[in-house]
A = this chain, B = another copy of it.
Amino acid sequence: MKISELSRQSGIPLPTLKFYLREGLLPPGTLTQPNQADYSESHLRRAELIRALREVAGLSIAKIRAVVDALEQGEATYEVMGQAVDALGGEAVSAFTLAQAQAATDIDTLLTELGLPIRDESLARHQIIAAFATVRTLLFPDVAAEFLMPYYLAAEKLARLEKAATPGLFELPPEQALEKAMLGLALFEPILVAFRRLAHERIVLEVLAPEASPPARR
């Protein structure tokens, strides 16, 4: 398949495909002539993966590159997941404030109880620390560390529901299994986030009008 065909099937503009090739998100096609290349089904799948990560999950090009690089090198599953989880994550915090140091202690205690490794470079950990510290300083100084464990467990429940919704994922050939695992990680996130917002809307509704049906919105 030529690049125009790839563009047609994926719905991605041709100049954008060229851009993805330049950026190394999409592996180059196999050259049949000095200026003719051939693209396969796996290029199409990759292109769709890139598009989904970009448009639906909202990842930056740099993060997508980190994800596909992790996929590419065919490392052990757990390694790739770690890379990828980091790729999806936020920014690293350079210097810890006092509140952040306190939050870090609380988070690391939790991670230890869960049997998860504490990696200094884990972006997920940094993100939690930054956000939890801000919760304490700006929102509610008395939020106890005991809040974290049940909250984590509720999040794990969600992850297990996602896993149950995509059975047989680990029976696929490794390359595709990883691709799909990444997709799942990235695609369910916006659903979860939006559901949580709807839930808050619903809870506010309850507080305001405990037994009324929800009012129509302007």
Contacts and interface: CB of A to CB of B under 8 A. Distances in A.
Interface of A: 48-49, 52, 55-58, 77-79, 81-82, 85, 88-90, 111, 114-117, 119, 124-125, 127-128, 130-132, 134-135, 138-140, 143-144, 147, 150-152, 154-163, 165-166, 169-170, 180-181, 183-185, 187-205, 207-208, 213-218
B202 A156 contact: yes
Given A85-B197, A128-B195, A139-B180, 9 more contacts: A52-B134, A77-B208, A116-B214, A128-B190, A131-B189, A135-B187, A138-B187, A151-B158, A159-B199
A118 to B, nearest CB: 10
Copies of this chain, tallied across the complex: 2
Contacts of A143: 165-166
- Kindly name the residue among A124, A163, A213 whose own CB sees the greatest number of chain B CB atoms within 10 A: A124
A150 B193 CA distance: 15
A78 B169 CA distance: 41
Contacts of A157: 154, 157
B199 A155 contact: yes
Contact of A185 (B170, B200, B208): B200
Contacts of A199: 152, 155-156, 158-160
A158 B166 contact: no
Contacts of A134: 52, 56, 187
19 contacts: A55-B130, A56-B131, A79-B218, A81-B204, A85-B200, A114-B198, A117-B215, A124-B195, A125-B194, A127-B190, A128-B194, A131-B188, A140-B180, A143-B165, A156-B195, A156-B199, A158-B196, A189-B196, A192-B192
